[in-house]
Amino acid sequence: MTESKTTGSQALGAMATLILAGVFAVGTAWAQSGHQETFPWMNTALTPDERANLVLKELTLDEKIILIHGQGSPFGGTNPNAYLSNGGDGFSLGIPRLGIPPLQMIGSAYGVRFSAVNGRYSTALPSNLASTASWDPEAACEYGALIGREERAQGFNMSLAGGVDLARELRNGRNFEYHGEDPILAGTIVGQRVRCEQAQHVIGELKHYAVNDQETGRNLADAILDKRAMRETDLLAFEIGNSIGQPGAVMCAYNAVNGDYACENKYLLTDVLKKAWNFQGFVLSDWGGTHSTVKASAAGLDMEQPGDDYYGAAMKKAVLGGTISATELDDHVRRILRTEFASGIIDFPIRKGVVDAESGLAISRHLAEQSIVLLKNAHNLLPLDRAKVRSIAIIGMHADEGMISGGGSAQVDPQGSFNSPVRQKDLHKDAVWFPTSPLKAIGAMAPGAQVRFDSGADPAAAAALAKESQVVIIFAYQWTHEAHDLPNLTLPDNQDELIEKVAAANPNTIVVLETGTAATMPWADRVSGILEAWYAGSKGADAVANIIFGEVNPSAKLPITFPVSEADLPHPILVGPSPEEGAPGANMRTGVARPTFKVHYDEGLKVGYKWFDAENKTVLFPFGFGLSYTTYNYSDLEVMPDSNPGGSVTTVSFQVKNTGSRAGVEIAEVYVSLPASAGEPPKRLVGWSRVALDPGETRKVKVTVDAKFLSVFDEATNGWKLIPGVYTFRVGSSSRDLALTTTMAVH
């Protein structure tokens, strides 16, 4: 979602607006007095569908229209209903006379935004990509529940989050908002996040549906991808997320897919989402992503945001004129009402409260500790022994004050920051550093050591400090944000040169990466330690310090592949004029303009590690890779197909032993190679397990594999099918370290 200058609804007119405002005020007061139960649809013994249908019968045509569009963006315009907004990213009016509340929407990818503006507090969690590095569904649930609680405390009842577009393009500026390159991992993590967020009685969503895998020219790009490739990659992530999370809403994307804009794409919205997946919620457009009335409505778009250019007066005219049927309009409205009942926002109305800041910070730190990936640890330099380390050099821009965060509409206000954003700040151009100080956190962990700081602005001065120190910790960053893709994966501001010079001066150099996606590391073989901290949130520095000094044993693993160079990435074929960054149409709404260029994702099924495997490319760090301060051994692999006829799961069992000297958690990964006749990449992830082990402990692990994860999507039958032949199961610690192998025949 992006910021917009749409003015909002003007259709009601001045008099109608005054009447609506009066009804809203009276209705709200009446509802708060406890008389809602007199409405038959307030009977909680009824199903959400039954309750929605009862309300639908009472609505006038004008009231139905009110429910299916927004009331303008808070970023500009003169919307007369703006005073009814809670100050979020947008809102839609309710029907007060019937006890239906307005939808107060807020961006909350990794925390609730705009909190500083309204004088409240929000916890910034590690980025979504970081949370996926934990490979922990329970942590994802904790992540979503915290955000849901803080949304309600701040007066919001709908979350604009749940991004699950795959990292098909590693330079995508929004990869930090998404959940990596594998559909099963990404879909599982986002599904658990949405499920537990909605348990707090807010409406959750999935976005940006679909194939919004780059930001360059996103409003005018037409993503070209065949149905099989879509269903097995990008759409599979959404399918799993929908199945687990049961989201109340899905936000369609800016881009087109195979010729039709995502928000007027019948194949995506109706054929797949609503029919094949039985999605029960409503589809809303990304901000300014609606391009038509009749076509969008027929395709399955239920709500326009943030205004009413197409779903206001134009919708009413189309219904009265018969080009849109009353039944079609009612389906849009029913889905919105059903979601409001199912999510609990009607039965549990918003009551603003105080955020539990201390609890939020503790959760943020814990989740960051689970997300930090140890990529290199030469000579077991880590963890540092605080009793032995005498001097530490901390080097890196702002490493004395804070850690960087991801920008755009996901940006969370950092409380007390030295560069806290306000609404007037351009969150697409100005990096924000959270006030979580690595210098202070590391100093607190090693009170007996001399800890000194250098910004790294002068590499020679930084190298001189490094030479005088026993250990060096460099905090390197890469800022990414919405509406802009990276030109490459090189660290900006000559940080590679800085790291090279510091490492030459002191081989005991540890690099902590703060990135929103993968980064190239030409210096990787010259430093002793590498930690990927991602965008680590409100307590990132404390989490990093706990990992560095061994208070926490790292367990996270990469949800994306780190390539050696950009030359090894798939390069989508662009056909037609692609707008330059900042050019008209590149990052803003362009009315009814149609897509001007096609992006052919010719790698198809080969997303992420599947591409590197299929092309036999060496990688810097593979998908699923991550080190620990202990070691593990795998043995005794068995595969047991479901004994029931037509069984839907296969059980993979094996043993994992902690062969090291300290307790740890191993993420054991299961991959499968399909028969050659399937025409698939060399292998795919089909399951995993987080295994907690004490030193010397052995545990038998069982992973159940859904039959769909062993299947291919057959376009001819429009369904999933198992290919007869031999399936090879592989188990190990990463996509390129699979110690155990066995086979299973499918007839």
Q: What are the structure tokens assigned to 563, written together?
A: 């390539």
75: CB partners within 8 A, 6+ apart:
3, 4, 5, 423
Q: Up-side HSE of residue 687: CA atoms within 13 Å toward CB?
A: 21
The four Cα atoms 344, 347, 352, 356 give a dihedral, to 10 degrees, of -50
User: pLDDT at position 191, please?
Assistant: 98
Confidence of residue 5 (pLDDT cuts 50, 70, 90): very low
- The residue type found at 535 is Y
Residue by residue, what is the 3-state secondary structure of 159-181? EECCECCCCCCCCCCCHHHCCCC
Residue 704 belongs to what H/E stretch? Answer: strand 698-706
Give the mean pLDDT of 479-507.
97
Write the CB contacts of 644 (distance below 8 Å, at least 6 apart in sequence): none
Name the nearest CA neighbour of 302 among 274, 336, 325: 336
3-class secondary-structure state, position 463: helix
Q: What does the alpha-carbon distance between residue 709 and residue 266 come to, in Å, rounded to a whole number?
A: 26
Q: Are 66 and 93 in contact (CB under 8 A)?
A: yes
pLDDT, mean over the chain: 91
More confident residue, 220 or 166: 166
Whole-number pLDDT of residue 425 = 55
| pLDDT the model gives residue 117 | 65
DSSP string, 14-51: HHHHHHHHHHHHHHHHHIIIIIGGGSGGG-TTS-HHHH
Give the pLDDT of residue 250: 98
State residue 747's pLDDT score.
87
pLDDT band at 584 (very low <50, low <70, confident <90, very high): very low
Cis peptide before 208 (omega within 30 of 0): yes
Whole-number Å distance between alpha carbons of 238 and 223: 17
DSSP H/E element including 64: helix 61-67
Question: What band does 709 get if pLDDT is binned at 50, 70 and 90?
Answer: very high
Both tokens assigned to 463: 């190298």
| pTM, to two decimals | 0.93
Lowest mean pLDDT among 591-605, 707-721, 725-739: 591-605
Whether a cis peptide bond, with omega within 30° of 0, leads into 383 is yes
In the chain, what are the domains?
A: 360-563 (3.40.50.1700), 630-746 (2.60.40.10)
- Find the Cα–Cα–Cα–Cα dihedral 451, 456, 459, 464, rounded to 10°: -10
Q: What value does the mean pLDDT take over residues 174-190?
A: 98
Is residue 372 a contact partner of residue 532, using CB atoms and an 8 Å limit?
Answer: yes
Output Rg (C-alpha) for the chain, integer angstroms: 26
- Interval 425-458: pLDDT, tens: 566 678 999 999 999 999 999 999 999 999 999 9
Question: Could you tell me the pLDDT band of residue 84, with boundaries at 50, 70 and 90?
Answer: confident
**CA separation for the pair 236, 185 (Å, rounded):** 10
pLDDT tens string 346-397? 999 999 999 999 999 999 999 999 999 999 999 999 999 999 999 999 999 9
Residues of the chain with pLDDT > 90: what percent? 84
Report the pLDDT value the prediction gives residue 18, as an integer from 0 to 100.
Answer: 36
**How much is the pLDDT for 645?**
56
Mean pLDDT value across residues 560-580: 85
Percent of the chain residues past pLDDT 70, beyond the cut? 89
Q: Are strands 282-285 and 509-514 parallel, antiparallel or unpaired?
A: unpaired
Instruction: Please give the pLDDT value at position 38.
Output: 87
Provide the pLDDT for residue 37: 60
Spatial separation of the C-alpha atoms in residues 308 and 296, rounded to whole Å: 13
Residues 6+ apart with CB under 8 A from 31: 96, 99, 349
Q: What band does 576 get if pLDDT is binned at 50, 70 and 90?
A: confident
Among residues 504, 540, 546, the alpha carbon closest in space to that of 384 is found at 546
505-559 confidence digits (pLDDT tens): 999 999 999 999 999 999 999 999 999 999 999 999 999 999 999 999 999 999 9
- Given this model, what pLDDT does residue 583 score? 38
Contact 106, 148 (CB under 8 A): no
* CA atoms of 190 and 128, how far apart (whole Å): 9
Q: Is the pLDDT of residue 45 over 90?
A: yes
